[in-house]
Amino acid sequence: MKSTLTQLTAQFDQAIVAAFGPELTGTDPMLEPTTNPKFGDYQANLAMSLAKPLKNNPRAIASQIVEHLDVSALCEPPEIAGPGFINLRLRTDYLEQQLQQMQADPRLGIPPVAQPQRVIVDFSSPNIAKEMHVGHLRSTIIGDSIARVQEFMGHDVLRLNHVGDWGTQFGMLITHLQEACPDALEADSSVDIGDLVAFYKQAKQRFDTDDDFKTRSREAVVALQAGDDTATKAWKVLCTQSRQEFQKIYDRLGITIQERGESFYNPLLADVVKDLDTQGLLVEDQGAKVVFVDGFTNKAGDPLPLIIQKSDGGYNYATTDLAAIRYRTQQDGAQRVLYVVDAGQSNHFALVFQVAAKAGWIPDGVELTHVPFGVVQGEDGKKFKTRSGETVRLKDLLDEAVSRARADLERRIEAEGRQESESFIQTVAETVGIDAVKYADLSQNRTSNYIFSFDKMLALQGNTAPYMLYAYVRVQGISRKGNIDFDHLPDEARIHLEEASEFALARHLLQLDEVLDEVAQDLYPNRLCQYLFELSQKFNQFYDRCSVLQAPEPQRTSRLLLCDLTAQTLKLGLSLLGISVLERM
RNA sequence: GGGCCAUUAGCUCAGUGGAUAGAGCAACCGCCUUCUAAGCGGUCGGUCGCUGGUUCGAGUCCAGCAUGGCCCGCCA
């Protein structure tokens, strides 16, 4: 299915050339959805911008364009309005025919991209031996959604979990494990070392208070880096246990991701340093090997370096990130690498990308993008914490969302005098709770800080997951009541638009392709949320004004098609946000 | 001291250089013999932080200022 915007753009290009000559080939017609439905469906704003170069008034330019513009297959005759807007209204038969094509297509009329790219989405990235907490929420949810959109567009997506599985903190963890839990290191042991957070805290406390322990920990780091068997075994035990805990969260959130932690790049780090050195970029500064980059200064106003190798010879995360860039572009063949990491690391990525560019490690056409997001804050506007001031564990956060969703559901079941099974309540509460957490996060512009509120995300009204799930459930209610099988509607079924609310719904449905293009390019899932919320609103208005099952034929079938297309669009759109729907709630 | 981000209705937030700046929540008023009212309609609510500039046109771009958040050498 050819998108409406593509077709219109092509027609405008021809008209512009016909009116003003071939030197204007490829001029952007500045087509966009109208700001107000009374202006039609699309407006072209280019006449105003051509006024100066063409030395003519915008309305005259607009009328010259319109004279040469042939959009009669799609639109009513164009109208010129205001200072020189060209307003286009799609023809009813065109709308109907487009909707029909969408409804019959599992991809809803959106073809995969012609040239798929290898896209890496780097997201989530918790630390081994620490539990996933609220700080991992946004990267995990936003990253998953971005990956889903790229996948749907037809790109070849590699989802990478750059877990923190290396570094100096492993010294104390290994030492503590060896001493507190030696059984775990037996040959085929699968001893559960219990609460990893408590374990981490114990190790940290000993490290801070016991000098002998500190010394043994430093030795353990050296042993681990040297590939010592015992240290390696201990490290693996810690990684395995953490991985199992992470997986529980990912399973619950419906997220797939491939682990490729920092340790993966260890063998490649020396080469990074060597290459930078060979190229003359490496400078020794206060005992460390660093690269100075342009445009960054520290507190004292001195040039800010990127530390590649510490004075003790160890590597740090900048080195790992550089090695990852090389591996991802060379071995993985990535053309686009998206780092879904909090905005606090903007500086770091700017430095790393600049060094990679200087070193010639970013091939032509390869795009490295930091996709930043703001911090999660409590309703007081401060950093989101528990009442006792602890970091909120992701598991607890999800549990609370689900239990609140369950309480709401039980209240309503009681109030409505319904009888529902425990398994129904369980499933609905889990889905609504998880969906609400995801949607609340995704529906906001990711770059701003995010004020976390259970009450708001679980609200039954407004721009929330429950509101949208309910719109979907309403369609399913129609099919249940009317015994409708949406997969087997008669071939001769046709969409005929009559009521204003049908037109509004129809026009909105046809904008799906434009929204997805935009989200795939600009990586703002909140635009998709906005689209789906508006779709739900328009569906509810239609539902309110137009009866479906009681309508006479052929109106009844036409409306059934509209309902089905709405449900399919909601389901697809929500799935690209990582949100699952319910048949009943 | 420097850098990045933010500042839009009482609150939480959308807003792609275009026409009269929008939602949701809260408040108030209506609508269930009809496909789930978890819905729909309506009312109220604005110096788009401030001052300049660019532009035919600025919430949007630029500069300065104010306020807030985050970051700034060997943690990641």
Q: How many separate domains does chain A show?
A: 4
Query: Are A30 and A132 members of one domain?
Result: no
- Evaluate if residue A47 carries a pLDDT over 90: yes
* Secondary structure percentages of chain A, helix, strand, coil, to 5: 55, 10, 35
CA A35 to C1' B46, whole Å: 19
A85, A35 contact by CB (below 8 A): no
Residues A406 and A542 grouped into a single domain: yes
A307 in Cβ contact with A288 (< 8 Å) = yes
Is residue A416 domain-shared with residue A277, that is, in the same domain? no
Residue A12 located in a structural domain: yes
The encoded tokens of residue A474 equal 């309403």
- Distance from C-alpha of A287 to C-alpha of A482, rounded to nearest angstrom: 77
The CATH number of the domain holding residue A35 is 3.30.1360.70
Nucleotide nearest to A531 (CA to C1'): B14
d(CA A495, CA A473): 22
Angle between helices A422-442 and A465-482 (to 10 degrees): 130
Is residue A60 domain-resident? yes
The dihedrals phi and psi of A166, each to the nearest 5 degrees, come to -150, 160
The token duo for A117 is 């790219």
Helix axis angle for A512-522 and A525-545, nearest 10°, is: 160
Nearest to A122 by CA among A372, A397, A393, A436: A372
Residue A550 lies in a domain: yes
Is A365 part of a structural domain of the chain? yes
Which pairs with CB-CB distance under 8 Å and at least 24 residues apart come from A396-400? A397/A134, A397/A137, A397/A437, A398/A249, A398/A252, A398/A253, A398/A433, A398/A434, A398/A437, A400/A454
Of all protein residues, which has its CA closest to the C1' atom of B32? A544
Give mean pLDDT, residues A487-505. 90
Element containing residue A259 per DSSP (H, E) = strand A258-259
> Is the predicted pLDDT of residue A196 greater than 70, yes or no?
yes
Burial A190-202 (b: 16+ CB within 10 A, else e): eeebeebbebbee
Do A505 and A456 share a structural domain? yes
Q: In the structure encoding, which two tokens stand for residue A517, read together?
A: 């293009």
Specify which residue's alpha carbon is closest to the C1' of nucleotide B55: A49
Convert the pLDDT of each residue in A406-437 to its tens digit: 999 998 898 888 889 999 999 999 999 999 99
Residues A158, A65 within the same domain: no
CA A446 to C1' B25, in angstroms, rounded, equals 21
- Is 0.90 topped by the overall pTM? yes
Residues A480 and A547 in one domain: yes
- For residue A382, being part of any structural domain is answered with no
Domain end position, chosen among A319, A344, A371: A371
- Separation in Å: B37 C1' and A431 CA: 22
Pair A107, A240 in one domain:
no
Q: Is residue A379 part of a domain?
A: no
3-state SS track over A293-360: EEEEECCCCCEEEEEEECCCCCECHHHHHHHHHHHHHHCCCCCEEEEECCHHHHHHHHHHHHHHHHCC
Residue-wise pLDDT for A215-242, tens only, equals 898 888 888 888 899 899 999 989 998 9
Given A371, A405, A435, the domain boundary residue is A371
Mean pLDDT of A528-554: 94
Q: Look up the CATH number of the domain holding residue A138.
A: 3.40.50.620
Long-range contact set of residues A285-291: C-beta below 8 Å, sequence gap at least 24: A286/A311, A287/A311, A291/A355, A291/A358
Are residues A44 and A126 located together in one domain of the fold? Answer: no
Cβ(A526)–Cβ(A442) under 8 Å?
yes
Cis amide bond preceding A554, omega within 30: yes
Instruction: Give the model confidence (pLDDT) of A453-477 as tens digits.
Output: 999 999 888 899 999 999 999 999 9
Q: Are residues A330 and A418 in the same domain?
A: no
CA of A126 to C1' of B9 (A): 39
Residue A307 lies in a domain: yes
Q: What is the CA radius of gyration of chain A?
A: 29
- CATH number (domain holding residue A461): 1.10.730.10
Q: Are residues A487 and A558 in the same domain?
A: yes
Residue A257 lies in a domain: no
Average pLDDT, chain A: 92
Q: Is A125 exposed, middle or buried (0-12, 13-18, 19+ CB in 10 A)?
A: buried
Could you tell me if A277 and A418 lie in one domain? no
Residue-number span of the structural domain to which A205 is assigned:
169-252
Residue at a domain's end among A226, A252, A278:
A252
Q: Quick one: average pLDDT of A49-66? A: 92
A181 with A309, same domain: the answer is no
Q: Which 8-state DSSP code applies to residue A123?
A: -
> Do the bridges between strand A258-259 and strand A42-44 make them parallel or antiparallel, or are there none, so unpaired?
unpaired
Q: Which chain B positions come under 7 Å from a protein C-beta?
A: 1-7, 12-20, 23-26, 34-41, 55-57, 69-76
Can you tell me the mean pLDDT for A182-193?
67
